[in-house]
Structure 1
Amino acid sequence: MEDKKFTVCIVGGGSRYTPGILKMLVAEQDRFPLSKVVLYDNEYDRQAKVGEYGRLLMNEYYPGCEVIDTTDPEVAFTDIDFAFMQIRAGRMKMRRSDEHIALKHGCIGQETCGAGGFAYGMRSIPAVCDIIKDIRKYSPEAWVLNYSNPAAIVAEATKRVFPGDKRVINICDMPVGIMNQYADALGVPRNSIEPRYFGLNHYGWFTAVLDKETGEDYLPRLREIFSEDLPEEAFSELDASWSATFHFMRKMVRECSDGMLPNTYLQYYLYNQHMLAEENPDYTRADEVMNGHEKMIFEMIDEVIANGKFEGTKYAFTLESLKDDDHATYIVDLAYALAHNTHDVFLCMTENDGIIPNFSEGAMVEVPCIAGTNGLEPLNVGEIPAFQKGLLENQFAYEKLTADAALEGSYRKALDALTLNRLVNDTDKARALLDDYIAANKEYWPELK
């Protein structure tokens, strides 16, 4: 296995994240050697640019790795070892629609939380499941690392559509991003600490942050650090939304973490009125991304293609400078662990089979898992406190009903899901939201009856 060169397919090859993943694969070429990277997307023009960028990149920094881009599933998925799935059904246009419809009805529209997360989940489930069916048709043994959002709802669906398929793994890089903030605050290397954590995706708590060598638990120290208010310029390296998120995290640590450390997304569930008041109905997060990071990435791609090279331009880089991308590093680290049986620990989604004994059996919980050639081996969490259990049971019921609605085409279950959602919590409002979302998503949702 050490001498094997892998073939990786990036599903959603036209994504703004793909250049970062390609560069991380370049940086990891000695550890995780590749023979080919395939970009697969259903939008030819957008992906073709990323494909040309990738070929220029590999030509200069990784000449032994071929890059192709295609819209043909057979070409994309035949004889691959890994599929990195990062699709966004409906792209940013529909994310913007989700957010604006929710805000019109006085609800948070965030892409994975509340009404916006529901609408996105209803689009993602059929799209992700159809792609995995194609992957299984052409590469039955490929590892499918799915980090398409909303990951919890998608994981609930893939568990049912592909029962027992241990090579379909649902992951999220958000806990890793938080862990990297912890490492920076502690002044320790980012790969030197390991989490203990429980919850659902974007809805969980850190119970320990351990030094991998000594076993020291940094959690008490981190609680002190993350309880203190910081100067406004802290987190200036992040965009405005994420900077505000990590500042607000301190309020959560002080007020409602029960000796643990909360996932930043809990701000939406525990302080929903505050978060709603912070929303700008004329300029949502989707607008911010489209006019910010996405625009910047594709301008960069256009410049590289126009230059025809990296070296001698402002986009030249060293391999060492690349090893700081949360999104891409996590994916490559997990792929390496699966291929080489490292038994490293990752936060992944897996079925609750006694991992949390006082929580719903079969729920797709996000917990630390040992990764190796046989897949994931979750670490036992034990019983969780009543407050966290109550929040999680409510959220799981909403996620389960959303998956039911998408897979069964059920209007009733869609309405029940939205009514139960903690950020909606009203039947009349849920019905109005649902009817608006049905009208907006005719191209993407199954018909609801």
Structure 2
Amino acid sequence: MKQFSITIAGGGSTFTPGIILMLLENLDRFPIKEIKLYDNDEERQGTVAGACRILLKEKAPQINFVETIDPEEAFSNIDFVMAHIRVGKYAMREKDEKIPLKHGVVGQETCGPGGIAYGMRSIGPVIELVDYMEKYSPNAWFLNYSNPAAIVAEATRRLRPNSKILNICDMPIGIEELMAASIGLSSRKEMEVRYYGLNHFGWWFDIRDKQGNDLMPKIREHVSKHGYVTADESKQHSDASWNSTFAKAKDVQALDPMTVPNTYLKYYFYPDYVVEQSNPEYTRANEVMDGREKFVFGECQKIIDNQTAEGTELEIDEHASYIVDLARAIAYNSKERMLLIVENNGAISNFEPTAMVEIPCLVGSQGPEPLAMGEIPRFQKGLMEQQVAVEKLVVEAWVEKSYQKLWQALTLSKIVPSAKVAKDLLDDLYEANKAYWPELS
């Protein structure tokens, strides 16, 4: 059986140890001969890599492990790039969240102004990684789960249309696990879903078990009463901010009770509520820095100091196993059904053909085959047209270095109340992102 070489781009991420543990857990399904970590922050990556090297030595000494900041070393002789980069790290995420709140607007890392700012930072570096892969390993596949996935996907569609890139997001997967738990199934893999939307902006409209029985009535009823909160605590993110997001899904679903929604729609439908609930001094970025960031780096340092991973509290990132499912589907042509972000091309028949939509696809060695989702209702279509225009304008603004188009994008965002607020926001975000955005004119 072929063994694969993988580069994890974003080697210094807090998610990297969990992903490596998850890859190790799945070696019987997806054999690996080499894992390379690549990052442009050598010091940050050094801590994560130091711990991962020891983990691998203890659990799978046969796997070759490389940590590097050299693109040629990182991207030569590989089969897959798994990319989860965060340009500007959590310090910039904090600004993405706090600057909009200062203007009374939702501050969120992928939605509205924060997502637009993050998108403008991410486009160039993601394209750079794709180019490294194509230069050094032209037959490799680029599995992108870097946020904001919608803007990144539109940028890769426009700027690298022939590249072997798959854009995927873990949020629907997490929600499907909660749905499965809410109706007593052991796994989302017992369900077959029909879903349409954009990334962080979509709806499930048909869910069946493998025998074809309709599960939607039970799921819709649960969501209408409890959102995605389930009795099984282990399925939840533990932070209070996540649990309130899962609960709020019941109010989001009320707008179209025949479907069940992606949780991120709360930012578009209830922005006033979100701003009221937000603490402009302490946002989600602060929660993550004080929680996950400290924990993961503390655990990594402990492994390095003790020279063993024995007793570590680092955990397998179980819900990241979709990355293995995706890589396997390509490697073994398994035609697994997965939600991916792909060019619409008629899959949603009454929607913009060049929009990057999130829909079920069959994945094989040639990449994704999108499944037809038919016509979508006017309510969702109107919302999606507005949002896809925002995403396309952001990418055009980046390509053309256009202040005007970025102002238009912010004005068009459903979260932003007026063109004046959009301009004030743009000026503040531009100032904060001088080191990362192109120079606008």
Asked if the contact 2:303/2:312 (under 8 Å) is kept, the reply is no
The equivalent of 1:228 in structure 2 is 225
Aligned match of 1:117 in 112, 115, 118?
115
Distance 1:384 1:87 in 2: 33
Letter in 1 for 2:255: C
1:257 aligns with 2:249: no
Q: What is the CA deviation profile of residues 386-409 of structure 1, one whole-angstrom value per residue up to 9, with x for unaligned ones?
A: 000000000000110001011111
The equivalent of 1:170 in structure 2 is 167
1:374 aligns with 2:366: yes
1:240 aligns with 2:240: yes
Distance 2:178 2:228 in 1: 16
Q: What is the CA deviation profile of residues 293-317 of structure 1, one whole-angstrom value per residue up to 9, with x for unaligned ones?
A: 1111111111111121123x25498
Aligned match of 2:176 in 161, 165, 179?
179
Structure 1 moving runs of 4+ over 4 Å:
230-237, 314-317
State the SS of the aligned residue for 1:228: helix
Q: What is the CA deviation profile of residues 112-159 of structure 1, one whole-angstrom value per residue up to 9, with x for unaligned ones?
A: 001101100000111111111111111111110001111000100000
* C-alpha displacement of 1:339: 0.6
Asked if the contact 1:418/1:425 (under 8 Å) is kept, the reply is no
Asked if the contact 2:23/2:324 (under 8 Å) is kept, the reply is yes
* C-alpha displacement of 1:447: 0.7
Letter in 2 for 1:182: M
Aligned match of 1:443 in 425, 435, 441?
435
How many residue pairs are counted as aligned between the two chains? 437
Asked if the contact 2:220/2:260 (under 8 Å) is kept, the reply is yes
Change (3 A) 1:5 1:230: closer
Distance 1:235 1:426 in 2: 42
Asked if the contact 1:236/1:243 (under 8 Å) is kept, the reply is no
Asked if the contact 1:235/1:246 (under 8 Å) is kept, the reply is no
Letter in 1 for 2:208: L
TM-score norm. by structure 1 comes to 0.95
Residue pairs, 1:278-289, within 5 angstroms: 278-289=277-288
Q: Structure 1 regions of 5+ residues with no counterpart?
A: none
State the SS of the aligned residue for 2:6: strand
Q: What is the CA deviation profile of residues 145-203 of structure 1, one whole-angstrom value per residue up to 9, with x for unaligned ones?
A: 001111000100000111132x2011100000000101111222312212210000000
Residue pairs, 1:345-356, within 5 angstroms: 345-356=337-348
Asked if the contact 2:17/2:314 (under 8 Å) is kept, the reply is no
State the SS of the aligned residue for 2:263: coil
State the SS of the aligned residue for 2:150: helix
State the SS of the aligned residue for 1:358: coil
Residue pairs, 1:301-380, within 5 angstroms: 301-311=300-310, 313-315=311-313, 322=316, 325-326=318-319, 328-380=320-372
* C-alpha displacement of 1:233: 9.5
Change (3 A) 1:150 1:179: same
Aligned match of 2:405 in 413, 420, 426?
413
Distance 1:233 1:196 in 2: 22
Aligned match of 1:73 in 71, 74, 81?
71
Distance 1:262 1:215 in 2: 21
